[in-house]
Chain A
């Protein structure tokens, strides 16, 4: 679980950005990437691998490790650490292999 420093929790950000995570309502803040928003919600696992199904979470936060993969707005295997959170986004756990057409 990650928490926001009080310094970062100013009025402008408290308005928040609403999205859904695996079908449930969730909230992040302006400037968050999807991966950061998930970590702030205590979600340290965002996918199961395509090979063994082991749980993984963000490791590098800079777009190189591909462990923060999630389904965003119906598109699988997106790098959560490179995508900015947007109002109304639909985010889902990447459960193993991506499906063609999703």
Chain B
């Protein structure tokens, strides 16, 4: 691997540019490079691993039991990357990609343009918005954020810590805190009770999948050490002195209960991070089971835009193992598309990868059904902020939806939701689902925000530094 320390080291064109150095991006880059392609791997973090293997090469935690063996598996992927011929640019923000495969990227406030023959987007997942009252208070963060603090800095929250929500990551974080000797005060489990009934049909396949043994072990370990409150159907976080001090919750028909909390860690699953793909023009589609939009891709991860493949969780949630395997497929396909192997060779290489994906897929459906977040937690409470950036509440959304707003883009024009720096990452699904609920249709019909570059804020000077032609100047100055 060649580590690039500055933009000046970049070549103007690469065979493959891979965005994101998580499991999928690392696999795609190393695979493509192994077939002789010149590969640039760009990542926002300072070291490879993505969110799941965050800080895998530099975590200060030495006791392997704290983060668990699944985390340390990331070491092998990172080492494969280190040994590869990939050009790796860390600490870089990719903020532009257009249909001619020109990227705009920035490091430390300076921007450059790079062109790819093929683009592989491995931008991973985001935690789903959790728009309950008080989720914007200091002291409240996502479970993934807390886990990042643990992996990268060995930090655990002090005082009364309450985890709330649903999904594997919530339980994983709890087990890591237990292993570190800091069990949380409680887990407020918001898994909808009806989900078990819906998921039971997928249980036999799950029991034959690689997920089952470790999943059960993890649940048992947490339940032995932590108070678990199940059947929670309402949550709100209260503040004293500007920060979270208390969490109120309700189970079934019971009255509201209260619990002191200095830290509330929220999680209700992850969804694909689609901003770069969508801004590049890749078509999205609604996935009803996972209740999210994802890019439309074929069996190789190719998007609707020629030359752009999307892989890993960014193309649909499958977890770290599936992400790495899908990344490998994208790498193989890039090598074939760029003439390094015949399609028959590619198909042969892919067959064993696909078989392994299928083994994990067997168990995935059960997890999707069991941990599908409840409607009443995906839709915001009237008092809760839906758009954190522009401070738009659930009530605002419903009032304006009542005017007949057909979709998120009209809503955005009317209320500014999605116009802030996060560019809808923390409100897009909420807004689409509120409109869908008010109109009584599927989010598939309502659609998603129209996204454009820059997908991350970038300075005016950086945009001004990008290459342009005389006709561009002429379109602007007309006197």
Contact = CB atoms under 8 A, between A and B. Distances in A.
A61 B140 CA distance: 12
B388 A62 contact: no
Nearest to B47: A31
B273 interface: yes
B141 A59 contact: yes
Interface in B385-437: 388-391, 420-422, 425-426
A45 B243 contact: yes
Given A1-B158, A31-B55, A8 B153 contact: yes
A92 to B, nearest CB: 16
Contact of B141 (A33, A51, A58, A66): A58
Contacts of A7: 60-63, 66, 154, 180
Given A44-B243, A51-B390, A64 B425 contact: yes
B158 A32 contact: no
Contact of B148 (A13, A44, A62, A77): A62
- Could you tell me the dominant secondary structure of chain B's interface residues? loop
The secondary structure that dominates the A interface is loop
B36 interface: no
A59 B145 contact: yes
B121 to A, nearest CB: 15
A36 B157 contact: no
A18 interface: no
A40 interface: yes
Interface in B100-154: 126-127, 135-142, 144-146, 148-150, 152-154
A99 interface: no
A1 B159 contact: yes
A4 B155 contact: yes
B285 interface: no
Interface string A83-94: 010000000000
Nearest 5 A-B pairs (CB), nearest first?
Answer: A8-B154, A61-B145, A57-B138, A8-B60, A2-B155
Interface of A: 1-5, 7-10, 13, 29, 31-33, 36, 39-40, 44-45, 49, 51-52, 54-67, 77, 81-82, 84
